[in-house]
Structures are given as C-alpha cells and as structure tokens.
C-alpha cells in the first residue's frame, strides 16, 4: 500500500491537472510557450519528490513515488520533466524491477510503459526496450503463483510502440503463451492471452509465421476454451476471432484437431471443433462454472459477437465521446481490441491521451478538434446547465409556494 506522503503527492498532481484543464490554451499560437513553462514549473518539484520517494528504503514510500509518477504520466502532456530526469528514471525504475517484489516490479513496468507510450521513439525509450526485453524474459520465465498481469500488459505496450523487429515481438508472444501455460494465476493467464492477441495484429499484417503458426496457436486457444475461468475463455475466443480476421478462413481450415477424446469428433476439422465449442459457450450448453447471471450474460454476448465476426459480419461499433464534443467511432475488430487494451492500460488517462497523444491519433486515424472549440463547447454547456438549474429551482419554489 502506498504511503500517506504518496497519496498526498498524487492529490497534488490531480489538483494541478484540474487547474491546467481549466486554463487550456485559448490562444494557442500566442500563449503555447508560456503555458507550457507554467505547467512544467508547477510539476517540477512534484516529480523530484516522487523520484526521492522511489529511492527511499521504505517499500510503502517507493510504491507511493511510483504511483505519483504513474499519475503524472497519465494526466500530463509536457516533456521537459521526463527529459530532465532521463538518467535517474532509467536507473531507479530498472532498480525496482531488479530488486523489488511483485507489486513494485509491476508499478515500475507501468511507469516505463507510460514513458514509452507518452514519448514514442527516441534514444531514451529505445534503451528502455532493450533492457525491458531482458528483464521481462527473466521475470516471466520463472512465474509460478505470483500475478504479473500489470507487468505483462506494460511490456506488451512497450513492444507495440517501439519494437520494429517482428521476430523479437514474435519471441515475446511465445513467452506470453508459456506464461499462460505455466502460471497459476488466472488473471495473469487472461492478461497473457489478451496481450498475445494485441500484438498479433502487427504480426499478422506481414503474415509472419504462416499456416504452421496459425495451427499451433489454434490448438492452444482451443484448449483454453474449456478453462474453468470465464475471463480465460473470453481471451481465447478473442484470440481465435483475431486469427480468423487476420489470417482468413483458409488458414483455419488447414488446422486438424489432434483431440481424439471423443469418437464422433475424430473426423471433424479443427475449425469445426473450435466453432462448435464457441457455439456451446454462446448458448451456455454444458457450462456450470459461472456463478452469476452477469457472468453468463457477458460471456454469451461476447461469444455471440465473436461468431458474428467469424461469419463475416461487421463488429459492433465502439463509440467514445470526448470533452471537446467529438465522437470517435471504432468499427474494425483489430482496432476494437487495441482500444480495449489501451483503455485498460491508460485507465483514467485514456481520454486525455486520446486528445493530446499523437500516437493515439495515428492508431485510430483520428484528429481532435482545436482546443478553442473545446473550451467554447464546455463554456456553452456550463451556461446551459446553469440556466436549467435556475429554472428547476424557480419551478420547485413555485410548486412549494402553491402547496403552502
């Protein structure tokens, strides 16, 4: 648990972020440099304090410092503070990965992932990728009962942003399947499978692996469709659907199941067995492991959507309403998978990154409106809300007087 000083530091970061949102650049060309200088000055001491806490002997203070840096990177768009502290950040964060326990390692990996996602490709972040390849392989190759879901997700983001060698990404995906197979944590297993699917999108775009890779992946995912945990089954269904949408039906048809446990299945192709199992899950046939109606409804809905996509239908659109009045519409399965992963990774900072992070604009082919329009819309809404509240107050007072 983070220390009290860590919570206070996070509160200060949120306070600064709230004030900066109230003072967005209304005349961007004239005031951009001045505004950035003011925001960096506000954040400067807080980032220094967070780094001091990470170097403390107390575990709770280290976790508090890591949480404060996470908050800073989720909600702040300036570069100067990170650039100023590059060497210190690299040293202390990889120190946490080297010497820390599970929680500290996961938080350090999250901060590293946010740095990479925030700043993109440069010399500093490429060093992060080089080191993270070694550290992640060392930590995840010996995973047993511990849950490294957060570290897995952050490392996948680092590969997604920086790795320009598909073979290296491919090797990390193999490691993820190994983690899913050997680990004892179901949430970690689900995270490994979902990150595998997230990275598959770029691998599939160059057809790396070919039919043999598809067949081997299908065998693995078919097995996870029978897992007792619904989240793992959903992750496997998502992976199978992605394999279908990225590699095509012909590749799937080439897969022949090696499962001869039931005589009537021996003559069926692997694809038929997989689709049969997915249809059983969608209809709740033979399912006794889920405990709540909510779980049953969620799983049925997800597998119904997977089967529609495999059948050639378009996926259900995802719509994200932004504070500037825009709506981002995501309507392809691969982009929806990326959207869900980035929402999970960025949490409360998702919309801020969607507005300000050029990488997000590239991923979703999206260009946000100017902030002048954002402020105008926001101000207009405030005026309308104020008028409505006043009307409601007067109406309520009138009714009360009539009753009296």
321 forms bridges with which residues in the sheet? 327
Question: Above pLDDT 90, what percent of the chain?
Answer: 52
Confidence label for 48 from pLDDT (cuts 50, 70 and 90): confident
Taking 50 as the threshold, does the pLDDT of residue 104 lie above it?
Answer: yes
How far is residue 9 from each of residues 69, 70, 215, measured CA to CA in Å?
Answer: 10, 11, 50
- Could you give the CA distance from residue 279 to residue 273 in angstroms, rounded to a whole number? 10
Residue 402: pLDDT above 50? no
Question: pLDDT at residue 280 above 70?
Answer: yes
pLDDT at residue 163 is higher than 80: yes
Quickly list DSSP for 344-396: HHHGGGHHHHHHH-HHHHHHHT--PPPHHHHHHHHHHHHHHHHHHHHHHHHHH
Q: Decide which of 65 and 45 is more confident.
A: 65
Q: Which of 219-233, 251-265, 302-316, 340-354 shows the lowest mean pLDDT across its residues?
A: 251-265
The percent of residues in the chain predicted with pLDDT above 70, rounded, is 72
pLDDT at residue 53 in the model:
94
- Residue 44 pLDDT > 80: no
What confidence category does residue 182 fall into, taking pLDDT thresholds of 50, 70 and 90? confident
Q: Residue 264 carries which DSSP code?
A: G
Is residue 175 within 8 Å of 208, Cβ to Cβ?
A: no
Cα–Cα distance for residue pair 129/239, rounded to 1 Å: 25
Q: Comparing 89-103, 220-234, 277-291, which segment has the lowest mean pLDDT?
A: 277-291
Mean predicted confidence (pLDDT) in 281-309: 82
Q: CB–CB of 168/136 below 8 Å?
A: no
The answer, as to whether pTM is greater than 0.75, is yes
More confident residue, 3 or 354: 354
Q: Which residues neighbour 402 within 8 Å (Cβ) at sequence distance 6 or greater?
A: none
pLDDT at 346 over 70: yes
User: How confident is the model over 82-101, as a mean pLDDT?
Assistant: 92
Residues 6+ apart with CB under 8 A from 135: 94, 97, 98
Query: Residue 270's pLDDT is what?
Result: 75
- The separation between the first and the last C-alpha atoms of the chain, rounded to the nearest angstrom, is 55
Residue 403 has pLDDT above 50, yes or no: no
Complete DSSP assignment for 72-133: HHHH----HHHHHTHHHHHHHHHHHHHH--HHHHHHHHHHHHHHHHHH-SSHHHHHHHHHHH
User: Counting Cβ atoms within 10 Å, is residue 113 exposed (0-12), middle (13-18) or buried (19+)?
Assistant: buried
Residue 37 has pLDDT above 90, yes or no: no
pLDDT digits (tens, 9 = 90+) for 226-257: 999 999 999 999 999 999 888 875 445 555 54
CA distance 318 to 182: 34
For residues 364-380, average pLDDT = 65
Measured torsion, CA atoms of residues 266, 267, 273, 277, in degrees rounded to the nearest 10: -60
CA separation (Å) from 27 to 41, 147, 251, 373, 383?
A: 20, 47, 54, 11, 21
Over 50: is that where the pLDDT of 22 sits? no
Counting beta carbons within 10 angstroms of the beta carbon of residue 217, is it exposed (0 to 12), middle (13 to 18) or buried (19 or more)? Answer: buried
pLDDT value at 356 more than 60: yes
- Mean pLDDT score of the chain, rounded to an integer? 80
pLDDT, mean of residues 144-168? 93
Of the two residues 27 and 240, the one the predictor is more confident about is 240
For the chain, helix, strand, coil in percent to 5 are: 75, 0, 25
Q: Which DSSP helix (H) or strand (E) runs through 330?
A: strand 327-330
Radius of gyration of the chain (CA): 24
What is the residue whose two structure tokens read 């469709």?
225
> Poorest-confidence range of 118-122, 192-196, 304-308?
118-122
Q: Which range, 54-58, 103-107, 140-144, 167-171, is most confident? A: 103-107
Mean pLDDT, rounded, for 351-374: 82
- pLDDT given at position 38: 42
Mean pLDDT, range 99-105, rounded to an integer:
94
With a CB cutoff of 8 Å and minimum separation 6, the contacts of 35 are 23, 25
pLDDT reported for residue 213: 86
The pLDDT of residue 210:
72
pLDDT tier at 377, thresholds 50, 70, 90: low
Angle between helices 123-140 and 86-99 (to 10 degrees): 0
């Amino acid at each position: 648990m983070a220390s009290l000083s860590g919570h206070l530091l996070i509160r200060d970061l949120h306070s600064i972020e709230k004030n900066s949102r109230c003072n967005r650049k209304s005349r961007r060309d004239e005031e951009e440099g001045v505004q950035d200088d003011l925001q960096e000055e506000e954040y400067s001491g807080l980032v220094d304090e967070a780094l001091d806490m990470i170097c403390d002997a107390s575990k709770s203070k280290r976790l508090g410092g890591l949480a404060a840096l996470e908050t800073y990177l989720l909600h702040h768009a300036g570069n100067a503070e990170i650039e100023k502290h590059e060497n210190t950040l690299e040293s202390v964060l990889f120190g946490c990965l080297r010497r820390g326990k599970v929680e500290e390692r996961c938080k350090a990996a999250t901060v590293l992932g946010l740095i990479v996602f925030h700043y993109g490709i440069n010399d500093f972040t490429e060093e992060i990728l080089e080191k993270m390849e070694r550290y992640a392989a060392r930590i995840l190759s010996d995973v047993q009962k511990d849950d490294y879901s957060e570290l897995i997700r952050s490392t996948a983001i680092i590969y997604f942003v920086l790795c320009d060698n598909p073979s290296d990404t491919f090797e990390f995906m193999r490691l993820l399947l190994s983690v899913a197979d050997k680990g004892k944590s179901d949430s970690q297993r689900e995270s490994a499978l979902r990150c595998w699917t997230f990275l598959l999108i770029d691998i599939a775009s160059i057809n790396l692996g070919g039919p043999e890779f598809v067949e081997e992946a299908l065998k693995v995912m078919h097995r996870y469709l029978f897992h007792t945990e619904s989240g793992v089954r959903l992750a496997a269904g998502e992976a199978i659907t992605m394999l279908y949408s990225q590699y095509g039906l012909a590749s799937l048809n080439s897969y022949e199941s090696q499962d001869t446990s039931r005589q009537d299945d021996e003559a069926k192709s692997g694809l038929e067995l997989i689709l049969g199992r997915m249809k059983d899950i969608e209809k709740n046939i033979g399912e006794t492991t889920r405990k709540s109606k909510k779980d049953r409804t969620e799983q049925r809905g997800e597998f119904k959507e997977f089967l529609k996509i495999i059948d050639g239908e378009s996926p259900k659109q995802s719509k994200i309403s932004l504070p500037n009045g825009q709506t981002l519409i995501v309507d392809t399965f691969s982009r929806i998978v990326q959207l869900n992963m980035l929402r999970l990774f960025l949490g409360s900072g998702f919309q801020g990154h969607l507005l300000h992070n050029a990488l997000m604009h590239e991923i979703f082919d999206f260009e946000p409106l100017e902030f002048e329009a954002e402020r105008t819309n926001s101000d207009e809404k405030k005026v309308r809300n104020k008028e409505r509240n006043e009307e409601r107050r007067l109406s309520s007072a009138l009714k009360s007087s009539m009753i009296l």
